[in-house]
Amino acid sequence: MKIGFIGLGIMGKPMVKNLMKAGHQVLAFDIIPTNLENVVSAGANGAASIAEVAKSSNFIITMLPNGPEVKTVVLGDGGVLENASSGTILVDMSSIAPGVAQEIHAACAKKGVSMLDAPVSGGEPKAIEGTLSVMVGGETAIFDTAKDVISAMAASVVHCGDIGAGNTTKLANQIIVALNIAAVSEAFMLSTKAGVNPEKVFNAIKGGLAGSTVMNAKIPMILDGNFNPGFKIDLHIKDLTNALDTAHQVGSPLPFTALAMEVMQNLRSHGFGQNDHSAVAKYYEKLTGEEIRK
């Protein structure tokens, strides 16, 4: 299948490469030339504009930072809807507010374009492996049509409900991840301050009830002092902002999410926004003057 792909950041580049490994032809675009050059050198075709992608593709994937960027790309001048043909399928794999996904979907429907909201979880490592978890909202028939393409980038592709359900599920995911990282940072600082080797604590508890995919992924990074991003604090702040805004709209309390947000905002104010979200541990290290290390 010929696929248009817009947005070639940390996640988009490996996603395009996995689509090509699965035998798809990809016409890609990004506003950053080096990002586009990266996937073109791997075999993708490069587009000069969003309009070119939309005119040349009847299956388009967007992978962008947040709702405003998706609205600009899809609804803006020279954007997808201005140039796409009726019958085009748009799969937005960005993590955005559910209400924004619903707004974009309504505009797409008026132009005869079908849309799925399909945010992902797994960060750069899973994007490279092609083992992302994808949470999808939209019409069942469109999901069934798109599932095989999405599966080229993923280990799990789950239809969660109507449009917006994908991003609601992603917000739930991001709340759990944020609170999990905060919990392990707090717990492993306790072991450090009490004089118990945190690596041994990790090995002792990872197979029990406290064990989690988050802990298995992030504690080795913290113990090594490696905070190079797979998923940046700045991006997690964006997701928690969307979670809190959505919670306010529907009347759902998120007190612990608000606390996690304050920790991440503090870290960003101290210049750590581009660090991996495992750098939540730095908040506790700053408070105590000690590091959680092997």
Average pLDDT for 262-276: 98
The residues annotated as belonging to the active site are 170
- What is the CATH T-level fold of the domain 168-288, as seen in this structure? N-(1-d-carboxylethyl)-l-norvaline Dehydrogenase; domain 2 (1.10.1040)
Task: Dump pLDDT digits (tens) for 74-120.
Answer: 999 999 999 999 999 999 999 999 999 999 999 999 999 999 999 99
* DSSP-derived secondary structure for 26-53: EEEE-SSHHHHHHHHHTTPEEPSSHHHH
Task: Dump pLDDT digits (tens) for 41-83.
Answer: 999 999 999 999 999 999 999 999 999 999 999 999 999 999 9
Task: Compute the residue count for the chain.
Answer: 294
Task: Dump pLDDT digits (tens) for 213-251.
Answer: 999 999 999 999 999 988 899 999 999 999 999 999 999
How many CB atoms are closer than 10 A to CB 223?
18
What pLDDT is attached to residue 169?
98
What pLDDT is attached to residue 224?
98
Query: Which residue spans of the chain are classified as CATH 1.10.1040.10?
Result: 168-288
Averaged pLDDT of the chain: 97
Query: What CA–CA distances, in Å, run from 226 to 80, 125, 221, 223?
Result: 39, 15, 5, 8
Q: Which one-letter DSSP state was computed for residue 84?
A: P
What pLDDT is attached to residue 230?
82
Residue 193: pLDDT band (50, 70, 90) is very high
What pLDDT is attached to residue 152?
98
What pLDDT is attached to residue 283?
98
Architecture of the domain whose range is 2-163: 3-Layer(aba) Sandwich (3.40)
**How many Å apart are CA 48 and CA 130, to the nearest integer?**
27
In contact, 9 and 63? CB cutoff 8 Å: yes
In contact, 101 and 136? CB cutoff 8 Å: no
What pLDDT is attached to residue 123?
87
pTM of the model: 0.93
Task: Find the radius of gyration of the CA atoms of the chain.
Answer: 20
What pLDDT is attached to residue 215?
97
Whole-number percent of the chain with pLDDT over 90: 97
Task: Dump pLDDT digits (tens) for 195-207.
Answer: 999 999 999 999 9
Query: Which residue spans of the chain are classified as CATH 3.40.50.720?
Result: 2-163
